[in-house]
Amino acid sequence: MIWLVLAEAALETVPEALRAHPSVLADVKRKGTPPGKLLLDTNYHHSAMASLPGAEKRGRPDIVHFSLLAAMNTPLNAFFKKLRVCVHVMYPVERIIQVDPATRIPRSINRFEGIMGNLLSGKKQPTTGDDAPLFTIENMTLATFLSRFDPARIHAFSTTGKLRSFDDALPAIGNGCSEGDSDFAVIIGGFQGGHFEGQWMAKVPPENVHSIAPLPLDAWTVVARVVYMVEEAIANAARNPSCALPSNEK
């Protein structure tokens, strides 16, 4: 199974300290959303965010929206059934959102923001036909989340990584998923500017930090490409099963 984590994602409700700012009050009025459920958004709260630590990595719910749209309706999820998508949020505390694989991400950003506002503020969630929640959220650091993975199977994507080194990891991922018994974590930044900063980075072997392009890509493009690369690796593994390899000979 591939656990795709959108890490340090730019998704949070407006911090308490900013809720009296005129730009936030105007947005509350315009959207009719209670301040506790309003998502921080650089488009609308730019002036309020000037004093916010790490502002360049915050307030981009659209990044999470597009990234989930790019991940969910793919063969890796819907056909191979080898994908679990998580969103790691940082504020006000570290939490992990898990997306049920049957979830149809709403195409409307307004509807998506409504669901995320409810989720992050602890309100009732939409459910699947058999009443399973489509999104679940848990107080958990990403370091803790990653501790159940074999470190060799944790991969992160960053412009600081080695260009194209993920290609070398793909055959093992394809075989591991094809045989159905291995969990891999693939970690993609869910923010616009800056780099990964969390202590969880200590869980990622340096050789497993990959760059996949000669220029910075949007998060949703990294998601789309990594999902496709893994699918191809699984398809290749299915065509050339590892049981035919010498290491598996009896």
User: Strands 154-163 and 209-211, how do they pair?
Assistant: parallel
> Which two tokens mark 250?
């009896």
Interface with its own copies, residue 228, by CB under 8 A = yes
4, 96 Cβ separation under 8 angstroms: no
170, 164 Cβ separation under 8 angstroms: no
Interface with its own copies, residue 109, by CB under 8 A = yes
Q: Which of 47, 51, 73, 147 binds its own copies (CB under 8 A)?
A: 73
Q: Based on CB atoms, which residue is closest to its own copies, 111 or 123?
A: 111
Q: Based on CB atoms, which residue is closest to its own copies, 201 or 233?
A: 233
**CA atoms 74, 117, 145, 220: torsion sign:** positive
- Please choose, from the candidates 136, 59, 65, 124, the residue with its C-alpha nearest in 3D space to the C-alpha of residue 96: 136
- Could you tell me which stretch among 12-20, 101-109, 143-151, 202-210 binds its own copies (CB under 8 A)? 101-109
User: Strands 95-99 and 2-9, how do they pair?
Assistant: unpaired
Q: Which of 183, 225, 240, 242 binds its own copies (CB under 8 A)?
A: 225
Q: Which of 224, 230, 233, 234 binds its own copies (CB under 8 A)?
A: 224
Interface with its own copies, residue 3, by CB under 8 A = no
The 3-state DSSP class for residue 72 equals helix
State the residue for tokens 């496709």: 228
Concatenated DSSP letters for 13-38? Answer: BPPGGGTTSHHHHHHHHHHT--GGGP
DSSP tag of 129:
T
Interface with its own copies, residue 101, by CB under 8 A = no
Interface with its own copies, residue 168, by CB under 8 A = no
Residues 8-37 within binding reach of its own copies (CB under 8 A): none
Distance CA 231, CA 173 (A): 10
Distance CA 132, CA 134 (A): 6
- Could you tell me which stretch among 8-16, 26-34, 75-83, 123-131 binds its own copies (CB under 8 A)? 75-83
One character per residue 112-151, x = contact with its own copies (rule: CB under 8 A): ----------------------------------------
- Please choose, from the candidates 244, 246, 211, the residue with its C-alpha nearest in 3D space to the C-alpha of residue 225: 211
Q: Which of 118, 125, 144, 221 binds its own copies (CB under 8 A)?
A: 221
- Could you tell me which stretch among 30-38, 62-70, 138-146, 238-246 binds its own copies (CB under 8 A)? 62-70
Q: Which of 20, 25, 202, 213 binds its own copies (CB under 8 A)?
A: 213
> Where do contacts with its own copies occur on this chain (CB under 8 A)?
43, 60, 62, 66, 69-70, 73-75, 78-79, 107-109, 213-215, 217-218, 220-221, 224-225, 228
